[in-house]
Amino acid sequence: MTRSLYTKFLLGYLVFGLLGFIFIATMSSEITYQYLLEEKSESLYDEANLLASTYSDIYQGKNISLSTANPQLQAVATYLKAQAWVINQKGSVVAETVPASHIGTAIDGFDPTVAGNRSYMTGSFFGMFDKEMLSVIAPITGNFNTYGYVVIHMPIEQIVHGKDRILNIVYITALVVFILSLIILLVFTKTVYVPLKKITAGAKEYAAGNLSHTIKVNSADEMGYLANTLNYMSSELNKMEEYQHSFIANVSHDFRSPLTSIKGYLEAIKDGTIPPELYDKYLGILISETERLNKLTQGMLTLNSLDSKGFLTRSNFDINRVIKDTAATFEGTCNAKDIVLDLTFAADIQMVYADLGKIQQVLYNLIDNAIKFSRENSVIYIQTSLKYEKVFISVKDTGIGIPKESIKKIWDRFYKSDLSRGKDKKGTGLGLAIVKEIIQAHGENIDVISTQGVGSEFIFTLPKATAL
């Protein structure tokens, strides 16, 4: 069974909280207790040593004067919130702070060395208390003799109380940290997990073929950017899928028409429907249809090379010369329709940096279209101009124009407007698509201005030639 990233994160969070609580409740409690015990014992031992040093001058193995010992003992005991005793060598209490109930009492089994290397001992102090105490023992010495001992007792419960106060602070801090981490978890859930879950669900929809699905993530962060990117990708893929269906339908139609015509004429010739004296006529039709198929195939191959980011062989060349040479190829067609090509250049020589062969194809397609849709006895204007380090090339006719609703569609592959179908019977509908692909491959733009019944003007840009 696989677990989601969020489930793993939540489990980790809970485990972290549980382990943290166990640590605080056990290890931290013990560590704090030992620390306070050591600290308090050192403090008590220092005070006991000070008292022992004071008493060493006045206590010479005889009974100590209570009037001399008690004020100091009482002051220390009050300050430390503890009990202080003076014990002689025999183990009897000779002085103590209030309540003075142990004076003269012999401590059974008293051994000042029982603490060993430690400066303190814990317990009932040889059975003298009915509760656990922290006791420190400091010897009273003088002239290389030990006259007695100063003992200070503090209830262990005071240390426990101090430990509890510290742990309460730790518990509150841990609770605050836990709440803050919970808030972070909630923020993470809202800003990361929920958007990521939506993105994952969207990716599954795309994988299943539902490209119309929209990932609804509106955050202005990486998740929102990723969702928008995937939405854009799905939109483009959906458009591409629709285009593929349309493309296949158009290709099938445009190939089927000439193939049907060729098949029909060949069958008619074979079965004798067409008499031999008409063979030349119908063979000419067959050749024309064959040329149409060849033209269609070449156009598709050109578009395919452009779609696959075909290599551009850029060089510096004179665009004016290319326009003149391309226009010259239409001399016979223009003469047949009494069309004049008017060439106007901003300079005698205008060098550009582009792919010569592909720009020739652009000019050929644009001029060919202009002639097809121009009336007889009309003029086609071809101009160049320079602006902002760009060379503008314009091909303008005075033909039938393009309907307003068709202007955005003329760049689509296989598209023909209703007006153009009667004028362009042999066209493939690929010419302008090829033109746009070539210009965009150069990183430039092409636009059209057209008025139905007046004419159309196509304008594209090319970069100026680079310095040699």
pLDDT averaged per 10 residues in sequence order, the chain, 468 residues: 65 79 79 89 89 72 55 80 87 81 86 80 89 91 82 91 87 84 81 81 82 80 82 80 63 64 80 82 78 68 57 86 89 88 90 88 87 89 90 91 81 60 53 83 89 89 80
Residues 6+ apart with CB under 8 A from 337: 371, 374, 376, 377
Q: How far apart are alpha carbons 94 and 83 in whole angstroms? A: 14
The H or E element spanning position 165 is helix 156-188
The H or E element spanning position 85 is strand 83-88
Q: How far apart are alpha carbons 279 and 277 in whole angstroms? A: 6
**Which residue in 325, 348, 339, 365 sits closest to 460, CA to CA?**
365
Give the residue range(s) of CATH 1.10.287.130 domains in the chain: 222-306
| Length, in residues, of the chain | 468
Q: What is the pLDDT of residue 353?
A: 92
Residues 6+ apart with CB under 8 A from 375: 398, 399, 400
Give the residue range(s) of CATH 3.30.565.10 domains in the chain: 312-463
Q: What is the pLDDT of residue 254?
A: 57
**Which residue in 25, 28, 26, 43 sits closest to 158, CA to CA?**
43
- The answer to whether 44 and 120 are in contact (CB under 8 A) is yes
Range 312-463 classified under CATH 3.30.565.10:
yes
Q: What is the pLDDT of residue 421?
A: 43
Q: What is the pLDDT of residue 395?
A: 93
Q: What is the pLDDT of residue 463?
A: 92
Q: What is the pLDDT of residue 1?
A: 44
Q: What is the pLDDT of residue 419?
A: 47
What CATH number does domain 222-306 carry, 3.30.110.40, 3.60.70.12, 1.10.10.10, 1.10.287.130? Answer: 1.10.287.130
The alpha carbon torsion through 126, 127, 130, 134 (nearest 10 deg) reads 0
Q: How far apart are alpha carbons 24 and 153 in whole angstroms? A: 29
**Which residue in 111, 119, 157 sits closest to 138, CA to CA?**
119
Hey, what CATH topology would domain 5-162 get?
Beta-Lactamase (3.30.450)
Residues 6+ apart with CB under 8 A from 159: 33, 36, 37, 40, 134
Separation of CA 211 from chain center: 22
Report residue 432: phi and psi, to 5°. -70, -30
The 10 Å Cβ neighbour count of residue 191 is: 14
Give the residue range(s) of CATH 3.30.450.20 domains in the chain: 5-162
Distances (CA, A) of 21 to 12, 151, 161, 167, 171: 14, 39, 20, 12, 9
Sign, Cα dihedral of 106, 108, 109, 112: negative
Residues 6+ apart with CB under 8 A from 9: 185, 188, 193
Distances (CA, A) of 43 to 117, 179, 226, 403: 17, 38, 64, 102
- The answer to whether 324 and 343 are in contact (CB under 8 A) is yes
DSSP 151: E
Q: What is the pLDDT of residue 422?
A: 44
Lookup: tokens for 327:
């226009």
Q: 């005889």: which residue's tokens?
A: 62
- The answer to whether 380 and 327 are in contact (CB under 8 A) is no
